Structure 1
């Protein structure tokens, strides 16, 4: 928010300089982002009156002017400005004057004619970029007076950086309240005397949506002169606040909004057919706004309509249909309280913003609407004349101002300073809070313009702001330090990220909203969760899988000539699940589990002389997944299964302790072709819950006895899985104490007869066993007995036949 310091000081004028005032505001939470002078430094510039203008004898574009600068004798000035004319009052740089940039004015001779000074344009004085002619001053300006005094150029522009909760400070009055509370200086409100009611004209208003409009007030004013000139003082304040002058009626409405924080709207009464209706829009209704944009309204957008004609978007922007023009003579001035929730986000939906919506969506004072209407009425009559009718004021559904409790002891504990009760009372009085105190507990009713006071901490913050953050002691907080031991069996997100990084994967963070075709092709999700207001048209749905984003990361790197890519992401996915209920961290009907996904593309190893180059394959990434699982890798089973994103026959579902936890496999050839990749990436995606728990390591004494190694080869059916065989062997070992000498089992060979492969014949599998006793050396008889029992278990469970 930008405003001139002089305007603020008409409300409250503390005995502080500009820098000190800026510092006090900043320390109170109203950050002064910038202060800059209205005009750059210059001196020796005065108001001059052009008496005569003659053509230069030797130059077509130059004129010789006789100018009265108030010194008693006219000066001769040579000027090339096209608008130089007798009777104008313009800035004059006298001899010795210093212009912005340091240029000093001296006596000059131009084409043989002497010039004793310089008449100035606005750009030459640093006031604007206009250099089409001389800066024309008001006809009432005093000749010889310093231009800085005439135009109040020693003023300072303040630019505040406000937090969204302080909507009450989006006006001069709001900032002045803060200054008054901080300094104790009296607050002078602008005059808002009730206008004399000279006509009895009224406009019927029907408020049909109490959840949209809580209060609506307005009045008819007839006989206004819309072509009246906006006063210079008002134009100056508007321009210095960043608003350009449009016309008298529009300027007055903008002025009131900046002055009191009250957005109002002025209708052309003659363009309204019948009365006004405040309601929600109907599907398909359209409105041409004042900015020239035509929008199609949705049912959750509030409007003001006259009959079937939509006149304006409630609390956001007026419509062109009833906009005032220079020919307007009769007007209806409206001021209302619009519920913030009804206005919030609507302007951004239609890709524009307005000063009114910026204020209403944060909360505007609902108590002083009539006073503000009287203020704008007085300004309109002062500038444009007119006869005012009575004010119609409807209070439909105003916010309930519930008392907020603040314990004085709690305030002391939070601030670390024992602020006396009398000091707290003074602070609340300075903020115009209605309060009472019993047993050191304050009960405060927030004012109608403070929508940010809701909980105890808000009141403590107010005490701290006005008391002064600089007065709070700079002491570190004291708290007992309790050492917390992280459970060794749990692994959090950071541990999982470190584990992936240790395996040469680089982390990526992708958007949670993706393209709709990604969901269909990579996840087989025909009904993804759609965004109501996507940041981009192609990012319209929430992801239910992380794979597509990782493949896109690979394509991005490949297009930039990266020969080898290994990436991972740990994040949430979103899909519909009717069993999910509302909670603190959940939304009804939407599952939001965390997944860990990885993708590898290119050579399995970095290019080197010690190993031949080969492309990464299924088993490379499977090993990474097993490493990630650690001791639980023995319970991992890769079961052949089909997935929309995986190669048929080269993709597997991941089972952990018999529960499905994710997927692993090569990318589908169709998707590889779409991505224009030379080789298929290998991808995996696992539920984080399956990775968070790791078994506690069990230390044991190392045996000094030698290890016996035995191989076992057998025939089994083509559909028998290695994991099923391993599970059978594990269960057999756990159920028989004599088999405890089996320390490890690994598969080292699988062979099929090529002539029988198409018919699905049996396959040969070879396992290697490591056996060791902790106390004694194993003899051959004991080893062979153990191997026989293991083979029999496979024969009984899977019909295995030992190979000769």
Structure 2
């Protein structure tokens, strides 16, 4: 928002000589962000001159210049720069006549750019200054010729200071207005904030006009938004006024054009400029219609799907059923709150003007502006919230300006539709400011701060009852009021004290364990990444086959499915790393996957209304309408586990790295895993396994199919675990057994089994048969070759036995081992190797 200083001074008492820097500082104190300063860039002697004579001089390049004699001071006086009253000036423009009053920049002037002016020789003459155009002065983009003051209704004395005459001595400060403070997109709102910041007197411009008190029906209006979209009415206020006999040739006065320019708005025509001026002044967007082009009464309704509308920018738009439109008997004539229609546009022949001031739903206007890619100054304000109580005053202000400046006559009546609900009062409990912020603000200071913002404050038994003003719809709860009190009282009053966490709070068990998993994997050399949750059908089929959720993905239409596995995103990251020269890659990700149930339908629950917190039962229904979204962790490794070094051969990653990562992940939550050979989708048929905690399958680990990832050669080890299932299967608390003082008895056993029998099954059988004396078991050898039957293998296990209360004898250890062998023989057909 740009704020011309002279305009602000009309409604707030600015100290004499207030600089842009001082104004910025005052607004920063109440929470606005400083941007830049506009205007006030011209310095030096810039005066009104009179063209006495000129001589056209054609040049070799085909251009004709004029060698001019210009008077820049009255007879008998020196010029503003101390030089002669009559100057010779070279000018390339040809749109002026002898006797015209023009703007002359004398030597020593600095124009925007910066562009210093000095006497210099050009085209065979010494040009002692420059006759300026509107663009060179920063007044507009017009550069077809120099600025003739008579064309803008001015006939000043020669030698008059043109900087003050044209308002070029004014400046505007620009601030960043956050979305929750739409009231600050107006001089009215900024003047109030300046007064709250500095204590300066504030005069509300909305109170300076007196609109009609009754609804006399200027232009009939029918508001048909009887069925609000998602619980919100599209239009709550609609005011119309009529001004007849407007002079279509009336120029925009210099002071208004200057202020609009400083505020960043281009001057178009007087009726349009008036609506823009009032919008900037009061924050209420207005729209003007040519009364002669209207067909019957105005209406407000939702658009019909596919309904066409040509907007003021000349674009024909196809409307959506959620768009709010203004209509007459011919159909839609404007996008409400965004842009008017071409059919009823004010033109150079318009004499009767209809002024519209309305209040529209912020959410609806914001969606329409984004849907049609049509941001405007009006939509910018409506989507942030406009004061519904200022519409009538804004319409009256526009009427008064058109009557004064364009010679119009106002119809006495008005159309006034008003169903805006008043703001709800908010209770500010005693001591709330201190409890929330730690700032010690007295009750008197609290009341003064809130009243400075326009609130009405009444003391009560439990605290202060605060009635927010109509332009502060964001003050809904006590915390909002606390924020405003501290903002005005001063953020520097908040002490720098670390808050004390209340007892009984902290991370939940799943949160703590998920963090532990990330810490363990990072400590093992992995890098955590976050990949996109949307994948293609081919990626889904390769690593997460099953029912999928399809969503609209405007960024990549080839990836419309919510992932069932984390591997596609991780493998994309591996491929990008390999493409950039990183050959040894270890990545992991913790994230949600989406596992819809076969045959179930999702997305059928009614969406809650916008702008209000949904009820708990509605939130529960929405949660039930979503597919299961368990948290998974996945690890992908490629390249070398051990890099090649002098005397050390490189060791590429393989399935063992995957099972090791799975074991370390489980250990992070206090669980112990075992592996069972399997062939998950996308994995190598003989180098992959299911990961189990007890009898619960929590994931898979192993090597991926060779060549399955484009541009990634060699083996790729991968593991993916269901973190929620892993945590659920893990013990609630980790139990540590005391270190035994008794010695261990170790024995080995070699068993011959069919080569198709997994070693894990043999191991499980030995554990089941050996009983409680078995402390540890480890596979130490897998032999296949001579001395064994065809298609057989020999598995050697190292067994460690220990008793907690005595030293085991060799006989007891052997008996336990033989019991284990017996169960292995029964379950797997194993036999002792001779």
Cα pair distance change 1:652/1:794, threshold 3 Å: closer
Cα pair distance change 1:479/1:549, threshold 3 Å: closer
1:729 deviation in Å? 3.6
Q: Counterpart of 2:66?
A: 63
Cα pair distance change 1:491/1:195, threshold 3 Å: closer
Partner secondary structure for residue 196 of structure 2: helix
Q: 1:12-51 residue pairs with structure 2 within 5 A?
A: 12-15=12-15, 17-18=18-19, 19-36=21-38, 38-51=39-52
The answer (yes or no) to whether the contact 1:749–1:767 under 8 Å persists in 2 is no
Q: 1:136 aligns with which of 148, 151, 162?
A: 148
Q: 1:200-211 residue pairs with structure 2 within 5 A?
A: 202-209=219-226, 210=228, 211=233
Q: Distance in 1 between matches of 2:177 and 2:400?
A: 30
Q: 2:779 aligns with which of 746, 770, 781?
A: 746
Q: Counterpart of 2:606?
A: none
Cα pair distance change 1:469/1:227, threshold 3 Å: same
The answer on 1:492 being equivalent to 2:508 is no
1:550 deviation in Å? 0.8
The answer on 1:705 being equivalent to 2:743 is yes
The answer (yes or no) to whether the contact 1:599–1:684 under 8 Å persists in 2 is yes
Q: Distance in 1 between matches of 2:175 and 2:126?
A: 49
The answer (yes or no) to whether the contact 2:548–2:562 under 8 Å persists in 1 is no
The answer (yes or no) to whether the contact 2:779–2:795 under 8 Å persists in 1 is no
Q: 1:176-195 residue pairs with structure 2 within 5 A?
A: 176-182=191-197, 183-189=199-205, 191-194=208-211
The answer (yes or no) to whether the contact 2:752–2:792 under 8 Å persists in 1 is no
Q: 1:686 aligns with which of 704, 717, 721?
A: 721
Partner secondary structure for residue 769 of structure 1: strand
- Unaligned segments of structure 1, at least 5 residues: none
Q: 1:274-293 residue pairs with structure 2 within 5 A?
A: 274-293=296-315
Q: Counterpart of 2:190?
A: 175
Q: Counterpart of 1:636?
A: 674
Partner secondary structure for residue 744 of structure 1: strand
Q: Counterpart of 2:9?
A: 9
The answer on 1:213 being equivalent to 2:235 is yes
Q: Between Structure 1 and Structure 2, how many residues are aligned? A: 787
Cα pair distance change 1:128/1:291, threshold 3 Å: closer
- Unaligned segments of structure 2, at least 5 residues: 77-84, 603-616
The answer (yes or no) to whether the contact 1:90–1:119 under 8 Å persists in 2 is yes
The answer on 1:77 being equivalent to 2:88 is yes
1:391 deviation in Å? 1.5
1:113 deviation in Å? 6.0
Q: Distance in 2 between matches of 1:383 and 1:750?
A: 104
1:341 deviation in Å? 2.8
Q: Counterpart of 1:622?
A: 659
1:512 deviation in Å? 3.3
Q: 1:527 aligns with which of 541, 548, 563?
A: 548
Cα pair distance change 1:729/1:271, threshold 3 Å: farther
Q: Counterpart of 1:164?
A: 179
Q: Distance in 2 between matches of 1:194 and 1:551?
A: 68
The answer (yes or no) to whether the contact 2:365–2:383 under 8 Å persists in 1 is yes
Q: 2:800 aligns with which of 758, 770, 774?
A: 770
Q: Distance in 1 between matches of 2:474 and 2:506?
A: 40
The answer (yes or no) to whether the contact 2:548–2:564 under 8 Å persists in 1 is no
Cα offsets for 1:191-239 (capped at 9, x unmatched) = 4344899x97634424234521122222344443444322222221111
The answer on 1:241 being equivalent to 2:266 is no
The answer on 1:395 being equivalent to 2:418 is yes
Cα pair distance change 1:392/1:749, threshold 3 Å: same
Q: Distance in 2 between matches of 1:445 and 1:117?
A: 61
Q: Distance in 2 between matches of 1:96 and 1:794?
A: 104
Q: 1:790 aligns with which of 778, 799, 820?
A: 820
1:162 deviation in Å? 1.6
The answer on 1:715 being equivalent to 2:753 is yes
The answer (yes or no) to whether the contact 2:244–2:409 under 8 Å persists in 1 is yes
Q: 1:553 aligns with which of 569, 573, 593?
A: 573
Cα offsets for 1:384-430 (capped at 9, x unmatched) = 4444442212224x234211010232223334444333333333322
Partner secondary structure for residue 782 of structure 1: helix
The answer (yes or no) to whether the contact 1:748–1:768 under 8 Å persists in 2 is no
The answer on 1:298 being equivalent to 2:320 is yes
Cα pair distance change 1:224/1:120, threshold 3 Å: closer
Partner secondary structure for residue 43 of structure 1: coil
Cα offsets for 1:708-743 (capped at 9, x unmatched) = 23123133684x54444444443444xx4xx51543
Q: 1:135-534 residue pairs with structure 2 within 5 A?
A: 135-137=147-149, 138=152, 139-182=154-197, 183-189=199-205, 191-194=208-211, 202-209=219-226, 210=228, 211-307=233-329, 309-389=331-411, 390-396=413-419, 398-439=420-461, 441-470=463-492, 472=493, 474-477=495-498, 479=500, 491-515=512-536, 518-531=539-552, 534=554
Cα pair distance change 1:361/1:628, threshold 3 Å: same
The answer (yes or no) to whether the contact 2:74–2:158 under 8 Å persists in 1 is no
Cα pair distance change 1:63/1:680, threshold 3 Å: same
Q: Counterpart of 2:588?
A: 568
1:61 deviation in Å? 3.6
Partner secondary structure for residue 289 of structure 2: strand
The answer (yes or no) to whether the contact 2:223–2:235 under 8 Å persists in 1 is no
Cα pair distance change 1:330/1:203, threshold 3 Å: farther
Q: Counterpart of 2:564?
A: 544
Q: Distance in 1 between matches of 2:417 and 2:786?
A: 92
1:800 deviation in Å? 3.5
Cα offsets for 1:174-205 (capped at 9, x unmatched) = 111112233241315164344899x9763442
Q: Distance in 1 between matches of 2:389 and 2:249?
A: 33
User: What's the TM-score once normalised by structure 2's chain length?
Assistant: 0.84
Q: Distance in 2 between matches of 1:586 and 1:252?
A: 51
1:450 deviation in Å? 0.7
Q: Distance in 2 between matches of 1:536 and 1:170?
A: 37
1:660 deviation in Å? 2.6
The answer (yes or no) to whether the contact 1:2–1:240 under 8 Å persists in 2 is yes
Cα offsets for 1:231-282 (capped at 9, x unmatched) = 2222211111111122333222222221111112223344443433322223
The answer (yes or no) to whether the contact 2:304–2:319 under 8 Å persists in 1 is yes
Cα offsets for 1:146-198 (capped at 9, x unmatched) = 2221122232221111221111111111111112233241315164344899x
Cα pair distance change 1:477/1:617, threshold 3 Å: closer
Q: Distance in 1 between matches of 2:804 and 2:203?
A: 91
1:552 deviation in Å? 0.7
1:782 deviation in Å? 2.8
Shifted more, 745-754 versus 460-469: the winner is 745-754
Q: Distance in 2 between matches of 1:155 and 1:402?
A: 41
Q: 1:607 aligns with which of 644, 648, 663?
A: 644
1:98 deviation in Å? 6.3
1:453 deviation in Å? 0.6
1:303 deviation in Å? 2.2
Q: Distance in 1 between matches of 2:779 and 2:277?
A: 84
Cα pair distance change 1:668/1:255, threshold 3 Å: farther
